Amino acid sequence: MPTKYIFFTGGVVSSVGKGVTAAATGLLLKSRGFKVTVQKLDPYINVDPGTMSPYQHGEVYVLDDGAETDLDLGHYERFVDIRLGRFSNFTTGQVYAEVIAKERHGDYLGGTIQVIPHITNEIKRRIGLVAKETGAEVVILEIGGTVGDIESQPFLEALRQLRNEVGRENTFFVHVTWLPYIGATQELKTKPTQHSVAALRSIGISPNMIIARSDYPVEDGLCDKIALFCDVDKRAVVPMVTSQVLYEVPLLLEEAGVGDYLVERLGLKASIKPDWGPWKRLVEQVKKEKPKVRIAIVGKYVELKDAYMSVREAIAHAALSLGLEADIQWVLSSDLEKGKGWELVKSADGIIVPGGFGSRGIEGKIQTAKYAREEKIPYLGLCLGMQVMCVEFARDVLGYEDANSTEFDRSTAHPVIDLMLEQRAITDMGGTMRLGLCPCVLQPGTKAAAAYGEKLVEERHRHRWEFNNAYKEEFEEAGMTFSGISPDGLLVEIAELKDHPYMVGSQFHPEFLSRPMRPHPLFVGLLKAAGEKAGFKEEK
């Protein structure tokens, strides 16, 4: 059976949930027994999102192999429950870097290098790679941005060529659009959808399905109109009314017949009937009234919630598994330094200090760790959150007042968090951190070991600095336990406080491996402790 390709393009406006729709479609096919993979093509010129500001791009999602990718890959992994790799996401920057390197190397034998065919060939090569590497029967492919953007043109052209090369019967184009609502006349409008389909057609692509997002119910007549004006089968016009529950999207698409339609149109043969029982129960659980626990996220980029997408999802997964609802309080750590926002921290049942870079707001995070330690508030530190927990401990328990990470104070006399030797010589910022999956041995009898119920785990990393082993003994004598260590014994992976209900910090990012049906143990540990603090017993 040839590989089948389902392409997702966006029309009208961005942020209409194209990534979630693509991810949910992946699940529709996986639940019919197909081997599915998902790839995101990002038309911006950065080589990867690793060096982009979270304000620009939201969270950087890290994969097993250390690729720093777009946050949509988090949706793919969470919905389809797969593990993706570095071929699953590429940008214009990567494509050009490759082509230019080949040109410098003389590989083109003096030919003139052009968008067509050199750039489009490289795009197609990378699409082919993901199918080959994963052996997927169905490749779901999302193009970032909106049709009409200058940057996305070579990508769309490459898809048009690919369609002819692999055969029309093996490709399917889904265009995700938006139906604006006009308040004065109280109606939804299809015109922008028509225009964006026209733009897509002008580059030679006719969509096979239109998924029209809307905040209001979409009448049947409107779907007829879209079908007629956009030349799409009526069954392939899918209205998607905004759902409050993210994980309901696959169920809504299934109900709209998207799964069966794709199987039919791509000539696939489903080996199993989808069982939506677990997803339905999950969605019911989300919609149910549940006891609330307040979790404060003390971070640097809290104004943009997308910057902590996976952290937010991991909290939700853990809370759901315990029959709780997490009420997230967003706290800007630099506000805490000015004495603002403390009421949010003080009213929280649990605190998370997530990952981050750079010194802004760092003292606010250290003060938060102090508060959590002294007041015995459940605390989970993620990467930087673990580092500040150690800095605070060194300052206030060991009495090293100027203790710090050398990221924030190069000349501190007590560098309890320091650069690894091999990181010191690095001057390039992109892709030079300790990245991706690394093993961690759990120390028996610790909170972390109890949470995982395992001896050896592998977690995803993205950082430069490490706990400085010169201080290990002193920390241990004063009540900190290093409950997760790299197998060679050299790197601290998890630190926790002995005399505390739950103060745990991990040098890795557990949030990237949390799944709706398989919440991450360290987050479950935090939510359990927070639930107990709030006075709730586990409801199951």
Tell me, yes or no, if 509 is annotated catalytic: yes
**Min CB(202)–ligand GLN separation in Å:** 43
Of the candidates 78, 83, 76, 90, the one whose C-alpha atom is nearest the C-alpha of residue 21 is 76
Contact residues toward ligand GLN (CB under 6 A) are 355-357, 383-384, 407, 462-465
Q: Which of 75, 463, 509, 520 is catalytic?
A: 509
**Min CB(468)–ligand GLN separation in Å:** 12
Residue 526 dihedral angles phi and psi, to the nearest 5°:
-65, -50
Q: Which is nearer to ligand GLN, 330 or 357 (CB)?
A: 357
Q: Which is nearer to ligand GLN, 145 or 354 (CB)?
A: 354
| DSSP 8-class letter at 288 | S
Rounded to whole angstroms, the Cα distance separating 387 from 392 reads 9
- Cis peptide leading into 43, omega within 30 of 0? no
Q: Which of 59, 118, 317, 383 is catalytic?
A: 383
**Min CB(509)–ligand GLN separation in Å:** 7
**Min CB(424)–ligand GLN separation in Å:** 13
Tell me, yes or no, if 383 is annotated catalytic: yes
Q: Which is nearer to ligand GLN, 355 or 484 (CB)?
A: 355
Angle, alpha carbons 157-163-167 (nearest 5°): 160
Q: Which of 57, 466, 511, 520 is catalytic?
A: 511
Q: Which is nearer to ligand GLN, 195 or 464 (CB)?
A: 464
Q: Which is nearer to ligand GLN, 207 or 355 (CB)?
A: 355
H helices within 172-272, ranges in order?
191-202, 220-230, 249-255, 258-265
**Min CB(306)–ligand GLN separation in Å:** 16
Q: Tell me the two tokens of residue 299.
A: 């971070």
Q: Which is nearer to ligand GLN, 163 or 463 (CB)?
A: 463
**Min CB(431)–ligand GLN separation in Å:** 13
Maximum Cα interatomic distance, the chain, rounded to a whole number of Å: 74
CB-closest chain residue to ligand GLN: 355
Which residue in this structure is represented by tokens 């997230």? 328
Q: Which is nearer to ligand GLN, 86 or 461 (CB)?
A: 461
**Min CB(264)–ligand GLN separation in Å:** 45
C-beta of residue 212 within 8 angstroms of C-beta of residue 178: yes
Rounded to whole angstroms, the Cα distance separating 45 from 43 reads 7
**Min CB(463)–ligand GLN separation in Å:** 3
Q: Which is nearer to ligand GLN, 65 or 532 (CB)?
A: 65
Q: Tell me the two tokens of residue 518.
A: 């398989």
Tell me, yes or no, if 187 is annotated catalytic: no
Residue type at 398 in one-letter notation? L
Rounded to whole angstroms, the Cα distance separating 39 from 80 reads 12
Residue 54 dihedral angles phi and psi, to the nearest 5°:
-60, -25
Secondary structure (H, E, C), 63-110: CCCCCEECCHHHHHHHHHCCCCCHHHEEEHHHHHHHHHHHHHHCCCCC
Secondary structure (H, E, C), 465-499: EEECHHHHHHHHHCCEEEEEECCCCCCEEEEEECC
Whole-angstrom CA distances from 180 to 192, 213, 226, 240 are 8, 9, 14, 13
C-beta of residue 538 within 8 angstroms of C-beta of residue 322: yes
- Cite the active site residues: 383, 509, 511
